[in-house]
Structure 1
Amino acid sequence: MEGVVSPEEPSQRSPLDSSSKQDTTNEVLKDSTDAEITKIRLMRAFVEARDPSSKEVDDLMIRRFLRARNLDVEKGSAMFLKYLNWKRSMIPNGYISPSEIAEDIAQEKLFVQGLDKKGRPIIVAFAAKHFQNKNGADGFKRYVAFALEKLCSRMPPGQEKFLSIADIEGWGYANTDLRGYLNALSILQDCYPERLGKMFIVHAPYLFMKIWKMIYPFIDDNTKKKIVFVENKKLKSTLLEEIEESQLPDIYGGQMPLVPIQDS
């Protein structure tokens, strides 16, 4: 019959027809409501019409940007399209070579290892090891992007978030880099939304709190809810609420040795 493709004939349709795409979408987004799935489809159609490269990203990424803007399709789309332009500029080859960020890597300030109880990768940042980049703000921005790309690549299947421990012990005026901190925050919130699951700030000295008061107004409300300052005397017990001892970094009384992020 004309127009009918028999089982033996090669189909001219996409490997995923509309019904199988629907099944795949529902499986990937099984923790989304029907209303959210509808908005994801609307946002995808909107961004694909404006930037064809949007077709290369999965529905989970679309959902993260949508959720970051409280399911507002227009705002989520604008945020996502801005991210695509940023990534083409910041990561034009699809990756950042360690040779491009050698100065920041040499400071050995970011480490990863282990998973928390929810299966989220753990990253530890040592603020006292950070110093302003002699090559300007762009070098540190590339380092932040490198770290987040590395971290996201370590996500187990089905996981979208990570847990962070920001260790401020030994931090002083020499480590103050307000511009760098705000740039890092902007990249996290604007380009990797809904990636941070929780952040523990530990060993924070009084001096640091002055800088924190300057940073705090720039943190969006969703991110603020994920940040916890931990008392020194409750450090291990608090971390163990989220991380098994076998996965807890050894410097906090656990069993997991830390690995520099560039070696992970």
Structure 2
Amino acid sequence: METITPEPGNSALDSNHDLVTKPQVVVQDDAALKDSTEAELTKISLMRALVESRDPSSKEVDDLMIRRFLRARDLDVDKASAMFLKYLKWKHSFVPNGSVSLSEIPDDIAQEKMYVQGVDKKGRPITVAFAAKHFQNKTAVDAFKRYVVFALDKLCSRMPPGEEKFLAIADIKGWGYANSDLRGYLSALTILQDYYPERLGKLFIVHAPYMFMKVWKIVYPFIDDNTKRKIVFVDNKKLKSTLLEEIDESQIPEIYGGQLQLVPVQNS
């Protein structure tokens, strides 16, 4: 995966001395940013000034998005700005219309491999992905990337005010060689980590067969440390009890002993 580093000689903390000595805190929604620290508020302002000078379209995003990129880079303004500008460049080229339409991803939609239903105890929307329903297609990698963007945008649209993350359940039951789409997995991981930072709240991996663990060992080094801390492999015998730690029974999918029926992501 490509790593972007800040341009030399353009540090946010030395390129504009006035911003350092007299930071202008830009707050678009006081309530939404109420859990921000003073350091975060100051750095949101610094980063906004920097990215808007590089790409005027940055003015269209809210402070919460700026904060997510900052948090993803441990509040390092230069690194977060480089990451954000890379995101904008990708967004303009890969999703020029601002969103992905169903007509662009018919094959992935037909597989019905991702569902959305319910919220966890923190109010985060819940998604369930069935790995055995995804098949590698070497000629349609971009279509799968668009499907990932479509699904992530759907999840984000379901987040209630004040919530920025989702909870995911990756069900690996029935997974086999035909589903071993390493290139697709890494593409999805890149999109999640580089373009939707701080959106994943928790990932439960359930029913993982031994064969899957071989592929997991290949993927694991590409997962950043923040994401690794959010991943939990669930023992089959403790599946429901583990889910209950994060989700009320009324919000757990029926297939895991709860009460909700799953809804395909495109219908959510």
TM-score, normalised to structure 2's length? 0.89
Matched, 1:153 2:145: no
Within the candidate set 175, 182, 194, 2:179 is matched to 175
Distance 1:191 1:214 in 2: 22
Distance 1:174 1:261 in 2: 23
How much has 1:136 moved relative to structure 2?
2.3
How much has 1:135 moved relative to structure 2?
3.7
- Name segments (4+ residues, structure 1) moved above 6 Å: none
Greater Cα shift, 25-34 or 114-123: 25-34
Within the candidate set 205, 216, 227, 1:201 is matched to 205
Where in structure 1 are there 5+ consecutive unaligned residues?
A: 1-20
Match of 1:52 in 2: 56
How much has 1:23 moved relative to structure 2?
6.5
- RMSD, aligned CA: 1.2
- Count of residues in correspondence between the two structures: 244
Show CA shifts across 1:107-159 (max 9, x none): 10000000000000000000000001364211111110111111111111110
Match of 1:219 in 2: 223
Which letter maps to 1:149?
D
SS in 1 for 2:128: strand
Structure 1 pair 135/109, CA: closer, same or farther in 2 (3 Å)? same
Distance 1:28 1:145 in 2: 24
Where in structure 2 are there 5+ consecutive unaligned residues?
A: 1-24
Show CA shifts across 1:36-62 (max 9, x none): 110110000000111111111110000
Distance 2:32 2:56 in 1: 22
Contact 1:168 1:202 in 2 (8 A): yes
Matched, 1:232 2:246: no
SS in 2 for 1:197: strand
Within the candidate set 87, 106, 113, 2:110 is matched to 106
SS in 1 for 2:205: strand
SS in 2 for 1:246: helix
Match of 1:39 in 2: 43
Contact 1:126 1:168 in 2 (8 A): yes
Larger radius of gyration: 1
Percent of aligned pairs sharing the same letter: 77
SS in 2 for 1:113: strand
